[in-house]
Amino acid sequence: MIPGQFTYHRPSSVAEAVGLLAGLGEEARALAGGHSLIPMMKLRMATPEHLVDLGGLAELRGIRDDGATITIGATTTQADVIRSDLLAARLPILRETSLLIADPQIRTRGTVGGNCANGDPGNDMPALMQCLGADYVLAGPAGERTVAARDFYQGAYFTALEPGEILTAVRIPVPPAGHGFAYEKLKRKVGDYATAAAAVVLTTSGGRVATCSIALTNVAPTPLLAEEAARLVIGTALDAEAVKAAAAAAKAITDPATDGRGTADYRREMAGVMVARALKTAASRAKGA
């Protein structure tokens, strides 16, 4: 199908973009890479009267090392993430996850901010950002504010963004040197959303798990932080029983829908499988004290 008619705006600054979105109200949508919004417009599931294109705002693109944190501009593409030597060295799970998003053509245009901001439960970055304890920097008519990724998602396509606000950057605490990580994603084919996926970041000491964070993708209306699952492996040597307990705890918080990727029961079971795989991979990569 062809999208309905709309007026195209290309602001030259974040302030101008915010002003347009605030002034145009509910009939305006911000456009980043467009890989979520444009398909919805083609299906007439979204019919904005105004598109505010953020693609020309150089201030929103780039990756910066702030020491204890890494800041990624909202219009930084998945391809930029994959090519970044800084992220490969300090946050390698970002590259691993980006390589599993869609296909090379989409990764060239798809943005980190767009993947995080629109509240699509199938997007991969939201759960990863929750796992990493990231913060989102939001700019709006009232100024700038910061919201934790773990507090941002309220329902499918519903987020903490207020009218006129845009996500301008993601700030990610850098895990300790030697941490283990993994993003395990089950999908039917290249380019598909996850049937289920899990992100794990952990550290080890003396052969046991010292810290752990686990998050799940596309098995509920929002990304899920599996706090109990992570708690169950801390202090263990990540033996088979600990992994089994964590997988069961992760499955218990899921609420997947039955769709073309499988039944709800199947997708719930696969969430546990992805957690188990991610835990084992992360542990194998950890260089504990």
Structural domains of the chain, with CATH: 7-52 (3.30.43.10), 61-173 (3.30.465.10), 180-285 (3.30.390.50)
Contact 209, 234 (CB under 8 A): yes
Residue 138, CB-side half-sphere exposure with 13 Å CA sphere? 23
* Amino acid code (one letter) for 219: V
Contact 70, 172 (CB under 8 A): yes
Contact 9, 51 (CB under 8 A): yes
Beta strands in 44-159 (DSSP E): 50-53, 63-65, 69-73, 135-140, 143-148, 153-155, 158-159
Distance (Å, whole) CA 146 – CA 85: 27
pLDDT in tens, the chain (289 residues): 788 899 999 999 999 999 999 999 989 899 888 877 888 888 787 889 999 999 899 999 999 999 999 999 999 999 999 999 999 999 999 999 999 998 888 899 999 999 999 899 999 999 999 999 999 999 999 999 999 999 999 999 999 999 999 999 999 999 999 999 999 999 999 889 999 999 999 999 999 999 999 999 999 999 999 999 999 999 999 999 999 999 999 999 999 999 999 999 999 999 999 999 999 999 999 997 6
